[in-house]
Amino acid sequence: MLTATEIAGFAGAGLAGAAYVPQISHLIRARCSAGISRLAFVAWLLASVLTTARAIAIHAGVFIALGGIQIAATTVVTLCATRYKDTPCPSHIPRPPRAKTAAWTAAPGNEPRSGRPAGRSKAESATSAEHSGALRAYVPVLHPHCDPVAARSGQGAGCPGRAKLAEITDGRCGA
d(CA 152, CA 161): 14
Q: Where are the alpha helices (DSSP H) in 58-159?
A: 61-83, 122-126, 148-152
CA distance 167 to 171: 10
Q: Which part of the chain has CATH 1.20.1280.290?
A: 4-92
Q: Give the lowest-confidence range in 19-28, 70-79, 86-95, 117-126.
A: 117-126
| pLDDT greater than 60 at residue 139 | no
Give the number of C-alpha atoms closer than 13 A to the C-alpha of residue 156, restricted to the C-beta side.
15
pLDDT value for 169: 40
Q: Give the distance from CA 18 to its chain's centroid.
A: 26
Closest Cα to residue 169, out of 136, 130, 123?
136
Using a CB cutoff of 8 Å and minimum separation of 24, what contacts does 155-164 make? 163/112, 163/113, 164/140
Instruction: Return the higher-pLDDT residue of 95 and 7.
Output: 7
Q: Check pLDDT > 80 for residue 112.
A: no
CATH topology of domain 4-92: Monooxygenase (1.20.1280)
Query: Among candidates 82, 13, 79, 24, which has minimal Cα distance to 48?
Result: 13
* % of the chain beyond a pLDDT of 90: 39
20 CA to centre of own chain: 22
Question: Is the pLDDT assigned to residue 163 strictly greater than 80?
Answer: no
* DSSP code at position 116: S
The average confidence (pLDDT) of the chain is 74
pTM attached to this predicted model: 0.52
**Helix or strand run (H / E) with residue 38:** helix 38-57
Helix (H, G, I), strand (E, B) or coil at 165: strand
Q: Which of 19-28, 118-127, 150-159 has the lowest mean pLDDT?
A: 150-159
**Over 90: is that where the pLDDT of 162 sits?**
no
